[in-house]
C-alpha cells in the first residue's frame, strides 16, 4: 500500500480500519463504508477492488471463503493492524496536498470562463450550506436522542460521536464561508471588467 499522509483518507485505509474493527465480508464492508463515510463518496466498487489488494499485501486475510467473492469473510492481519495504527497516530510532516478542483479551474481559466466559474462556485456554496444545515440537524437530533453520551459508562463510539459531529458542522460551515468569499471576489472582478455580457473588450 502506498504511504498515505495522515491528512488524507484513501478508500483502502478506511476499508482496512473497518476490517480491523470487525471481520466482515466484502459486501458487509461495502455497506459499512457507505454508512460510516457517506460524504467521502467512495466508489461503490471500493470494497470489492481494495480488499483483494489488501489481501495481496498481507494486510488482511481470507478466513471464510464462500464460493462467491462478495461473501468471502476477511480479517485484518497483525501487519495490517500495525500499518493502520501507524497511519492513525502519525502526524503529517506538512499540510495535506491542496488538490481542490476550484483552485485548478481558476488557475487554468480564461476571461471568458468567469461567468461559468461564478455559477460553479455558487452551486458548490449552496451545496455546502445544505450539508451544513443537515449536519447541524443530525447533531441536534443525536443530542435529543441521547446519542452523544460521555463518561465511563459509554462505549468509545458513543464518546467520540459528539466531537465528530461538532467537527462536521464546523467543516461544512468553514467551507461554505470560504466559497462565499471566493464567489464575492469573483463577482467583484466581473464588475470591474465592466462586461455584463461576458464579452471581450473591443
Asked if residue 166 is part of any domain, the answer here is yes
How far apart CA 103 and CA 94 sit, in angstroms, is: 19
Q: Which pLDDT band holds residue 202 (cuts at 50, 70, 90)? A: very low
At 7 the pLDDT is 57
Last residue of a domain, one of 36, 69, 89: 89
How far apart CA 136 and CA 132 sit, in angstroms, is: 6
Grid cell for residue 76? 485484518
- Tell whether the model's pLDDT for residue 6 goes beyond 80: no
- Tell whether the model's pLDDT for residue 54 goes beyond 90: yes
123 and 187 both lie in a single domain: yes
Q: What is the residue whose three cell numbers read 473588450?
A: 201
137 and 66 both lie in a single domain: no
For the chain, what is the domain count?
2
9: Cβ–Cβ under 8 A, 6 or more apart, which residues? Answer: 37, 40
Last residue of a domain, one of 63, 89, 115: 89
How far apart CA 179 and CA 100 sit, in angstroms, is: 12
Asked if residue 6 is part of any domain, the answer here is no
137 and 184 both lie in a single domain: yes
Asked if residue 202 is part of any domain, the answer here is no
83 and 130 both lie in a single domain: no
Residue-range definition of the domain harbouring residue 112: 101-193
105 and 79 both lie in a single domain: no
Residues 63-69: contacts with CB under 8 Å, at least 24 apart: 63/23, 66/25, 69/26
Of 196 and 39, more confident: 39
Of 112 and 195, more confident: 112
75 and 149 both lie in a single domain: no
Asked if residue 107 is part of any domain, the answer here is yes
Mean pLDDT of 156-162: 85
85 and 109 both lie in a single domain: no
What are the two backbone dihedrals, phi and then psi, of residue 25, each rounded to the nearest 5 degrees? -80, 165
Asked if residue 96 is part of any domain, the answer here is no
Q: Which pLDDT band holds residue 22 (cuts at 50, 70, 90)? A: very high
Asked if residue 127 is part of any domain, the answer here is yes
Asked if residue 2 is part of any domain, the answer here is no
How deeply is 176 buried, as exposed, middle or buried, from its count of CB atoms within 10 A (0-12, 13-18, 19+)? buried
What b/e string do you get for 20-42 counting C-beta neighbours within 10 Å, with b at 16 or more?
Answer: beebbbbbbbbebbeeebeeeeb
| CATH code, domain carrying 51 | 1.10.10.10
Contact 80, 16 (CB under 8 A): yes
Pairing mode, if any, of strands 60-64 and 73-76?
antiparallel
Asked if residue 199 is part of any domain, the answer here is no
- Classify residue 71 as left (phi > 0), alpha (psi -120 to 50) or beta: alpha
Nearest to 14 by CA among 2, 24, 29: 29
Amino acid at each position: 500500500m502506498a504511504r498515505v499522509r495522515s491528512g488524507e483518507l484513501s478508500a483502502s485505509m478506511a476499508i482496512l480500519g473497518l476490517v480491523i474493527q470487525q471481520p466482515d465480508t466484502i459486501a458487509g464492508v461495502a455497506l459499512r463504508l457507505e454508512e460510516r463515510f457517506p460524504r467521502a463518496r467512495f466508489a461503490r466498487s471500493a470494497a470489492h477492488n481494495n480488499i483483494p489488494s489488501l489481501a495481496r499485501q498481507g494486510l488482511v486475510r481470507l478466513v471464510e471463503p464462500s464460493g462467491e467473492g462478495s461473501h468471502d469473510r476477511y480479517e485484518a492481519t497483525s501487519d495490517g493492524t500495525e500499518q493502520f495504527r501507524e497511519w492513525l497516530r502519525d502526524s503529517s510532516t506538512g499540510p495535506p496536498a491542496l488538490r481542490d478542483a476550484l483552485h485548478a479551474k481558476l488557475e487554468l481559466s480564461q476571461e471568458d470562463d468567469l461567468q461559468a466559474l461564478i455559477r460553479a462556485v455558487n452551486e458548490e456554496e449552496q451545496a455546502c450550506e445544505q450539508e451544513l444545515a443537515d449536519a447541524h440537524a443530525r447533531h441536534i437530533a443525536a443530542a435529543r436522542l441521547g446519542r452523544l453520551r460521555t463518561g465511563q459508562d459509554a462505549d468509545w463510539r458513543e464518546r467520540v460521536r459528539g466531537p465528530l459531529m461538532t467537527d462536521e458542522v464546523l467543516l461544512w460551515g468553514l467551507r461554505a464561508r470560504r466559497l462565499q468569499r471566493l464567489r464575492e471576489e469573483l463577482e467583484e472582478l466581473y464588475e470591474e471588467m465592466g462586461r455584463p455580457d461576458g464579452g471581450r473588450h473591443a
